[in-house]
Amino acid sequence: MAQILDAIPNDDNNKIMCCYVNATSQIQVARITNVANWYFERVVFPGQRLIFEALPEALLEIHSGMMASSILSDTIPCSTLSIQEEIEGNDNQANHNPSSDSQEENLELLSA
């Protein structure tokens, strides 16, 4: 996923794809401030899914609150928000069709 306005300055290939879901009824602000030469900030609406690239050592700060006030309500290591493994796992499952196996077993039973 390209982040055109605020690309991660590190040229390493150790970037991870992350997903955060705002499961509250409040608007939240998600920030990453612990990566040198990079600042990430997004507004996340209730129920919205935020997909972004980050370094594994990055910390996602979740700020919530009402008008003119903001409270740091959570700090989440981006490594725990990684979705790359799940995507690769789903690709492996997509290549295996269990219904075709059961169809083959049914054919073997019928021919026996």
Look at residue 103 and tell me whether its pLDDT is greater than 70.
no
pLDDT in tens, 62-83: 999 877 788 999 999 999 999 9
- Specify the pLDDT at position 107: 44
Round the average pLDDT of the chain to a whole number and report it: 78
Q: Is 27 exposed, middle or buried (0-12, 13-18, 19+ CB in 10 A)?
A: middle
Mean pLDDT of 18-44: 93
pLDDT bin (cut points 50, 70, 90) of residue 42 is very high
pTM: 0.68
- Specify the pLDDT at position 1: 44
Domains and CATH numbers, the chain: 16-111 (2.60.40)
- Specify the pLDDT at position 68: 75
- Specify the pLDDT at position 85: 56
